[in-house]
Amino acid sequence: MAVVLLRVVLDWIPPMESGAQRRLVLWSHLFTEPLLGPIRRLMPMIPLGQGAALDLSPALLMLLLFLAQALVARYIG
């Protein structure tokens, strides 16, 4: 869940010339896109006007991960 939250925060920060920030963004996309991509295909972005849109797929992914964690803890842990 922390990687998803990191990606959301990094997507809101303007890109810098720093190689460290770029590597962190690429790393977060590498780990989250396989899960976020299918959710985005099923759940379209919400248009906000003037070309902006709200992507709720990270919130849904975090909810699903939380539920999966709770189920595993309840039935296995």
pTM over 0.75: yes
Express each pLDDT in 53-67 by its tens digit.
999 999 999 999 999
pLDDT value, residue 21: 86
Among 71, 68, 72, residue whose Cα is nearest residue 1: 68
CB 29 within 8 A of CB 7: yes
Model confidence at 7, in pLDDT bands (50, 70, 90)?
Answer: very high
Q: Which of 73, 25, 72, 35 is nearest to 57 (CA)?
A: 35
Residues 6+ away with beta carbon under 8 Å from 43: 56, 57, 60
**CB-CB contact of 28 with 3 (8 Å):** yes
Q: How far apart are the first and last CA of the chain?
A: 19
pLDDT in tens, 11-64: 888 888 778 888 999 999 999 999 999 999 999 899 999 999 999 999 999 999
